[in-house]
Amino acid sequence: RCLRAGWQSMQHAPHAHASMLEALRLWLNPGATVILRGEEKKMREWQTTIERQPQLDRLVFAIPANQRDLPKSIEIRQPQGECVAYACREFTCSPPVVELQELLRTLENG
C-alpha cells in the first residue's frame, strides 16, 4: 500500500524518494535469504565467503545446530554435518546444500 500511495510522487520527483524506490526495487526483485545451520566456526567461514560475493540483495542467517525454540519455518531446516545451507527466495527454499561451492553456484544461478 505504501508503494501505491507514493507512486505519483515517486514519478514526479524520484530524487526525493530514494528509500521508496529502493523498497520498490526489492518488492519487484526480492533477494535471496540463506539459512546456515551447523557448527559455528564452519558457518562463519561460509557466511564470510557468501557475503564477499558481489550480490547486494542477500541476507545470511547463521543458526547454530544447538539453537532451540526456533520458528517452525526455520526449525525444519535441520543441521547436517559441519554446515548445511538452504537458499531461499520468497517462500521457496532449495534442498539442503552441504558443499560451499555448490551453494555459491546455486546463488549465482538465482
β-pair partners for 86? 35
**pLDDT tens-digit readout, 64-91:** 988 889 888 878 788 888 999 999 988 8
CB-based contact 58:107 (threshold 8 Å): yes
In the chain, domain spans: 1-29, 32-108
pTM, two decimals, is 0.73
Which of 56, 49, 54 lies closest to 85 in space, CA to CA?
Answer: 49
> In the prediction, which pLDDT does 41 show?
95
**pLDDT tens-digit readout, 44-71:** 999 999 989 887 678 899 999 888 898 8
**What is the rounded distance in angstroms from the CA atom of residue 26 to the CA atom of residue 57?**
8
Dig out the grid coordinates for 42 from the structure: 564452519
Could you give the 3-state DSSP secondary structure of residue 58? Answer: strand
